[in-house]
Structures are given as C-alpha cells and as structure tokens.
C-alpha cells in the first residue's frame, strides 16, 4: 500500500494540510508532553482525538482540544470542571460517551499531518460551544487564544 507522504515532498504535505484542515475537524493524532498530554507510565506518547479550533497565522500550528473517554480523577479540580460531555449517539467516530477537555488549548504541528487520521467533524453549534467554554477557562489566556485566531 502506498502512503501519501511517500509520494509527496514535505512542503506538498503541509500545503495540502493548510488547504484541507478546517475548524471542527477531528483527527486521531499522536500527542506527548510537548503538546500537553501526559503519556501513561512507560509510554512516550498517546493517541488522542483532537478537535481543531484554530491555527496560527502561518497555518503551521493548530490549536485544539482533546476528547477523553473519562475524566481523569488525578487532575486538579480546575481541569475537571472544564470537561464537556459529548455523546456517541451524535458522533459516529466515538465508541462511547466521552468528554471534551476545554480547560486549555493543546497544540499540534502541521508537519505531523501525514500521520493524522481524519475521523469526522464536530457540528458548528458544538464547535461554538467548545470555543466559548475554552475562552472562559481560567487556565487559558487571551494571548494564547489569539495565536490561534480565537
């Protein structure tokens, strides 16, 4: 099987990403501590569902939130309080009811786009609700939000 990244130059992959990734798109991506995810003990990274909410002015870094299957009871209360329920009955890419972590934007760099797996999209009304919730989070700053056009 041929992989798209094997046929294209890195610049072409990034160009495709800039033209196709939209706010509300959901991708399965590998994340680590560098972009705000603490891997499980013994792992270097974790696969997470990432909802794109914005991107920097050059289209190189995407800001978004992740979907968790459960609320981690070991995180501070200020993080637990900003988990938004999302129903699997509404989104076919979910296997079970889950939670969108709206406590703080996470970042994903475009050069990893060729390893992202597109899952679907979040409906506009839910995207607006998620963005509004992130903007209100005490863990988020106006400066950080503005990097991603929020």
Q: For the residues of 66-111, what is the DSSP string, one character each?
A: EEESS--TTS-HHHHTTEEEE-TTT-TT-SS-EEEEEEEEEEEEGG
Integer Cα distance of 27 and 114 in angstroms = 11
User: Do 106 and 66 form a contact (C-beta atoms < 8 A)?
Assistant: yes
Sign of the alpha-carbon dihedral angle for 141, 83, 59, 37: positive
Task: Report whether pLDDT(28) > 60.
Answer: yes
Give the model's pLDDT for residue 15. 74
> Is the pLDDT confidence value at 2 over 50?
no
Q: What percent of the chain has pLDDT over 70?
A: 80
Q: Does position 112 have pLDDT exceeding 90, yes or no?
A: no
Name all domains of the chain by residue range, CATH numbers in brackets: 4-147 (2.30.30.110)
| pTM for this model (two decimals) | 0.84
């Amino acid at each position: 099987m041929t992989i798209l990244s094997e046929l294209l130059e890195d610049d072409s992959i990034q160009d495709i990403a800039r033209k196709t990734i939209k706010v509300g798109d959901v991708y399965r991506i590998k994340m680590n501590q560098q972009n705000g995810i603490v891997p499980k003990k013994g792992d270097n990274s974790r696969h997470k569902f990432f909802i794109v909410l914005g991107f920097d002015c050059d289209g190189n870094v995407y800001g978004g939130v992740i979907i968790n299957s459960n609320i981690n009871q070991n995180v501070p209360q200020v993080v637990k309080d900003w988990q938004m329920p999302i129903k699997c009955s509404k989104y076919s890419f979910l296997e079970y009811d889950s939670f969108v972590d709206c406590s703080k934007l996470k970042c994903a760099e475009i050069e990893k786009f060729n390893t992202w797996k597109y899952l679907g999209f979040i409906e506009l009304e839910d995207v607006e609700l998620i963005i509004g919730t992130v903007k209100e989070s005490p863990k988020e700053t106006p400066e950080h939000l503005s990097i991603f056009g929020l």
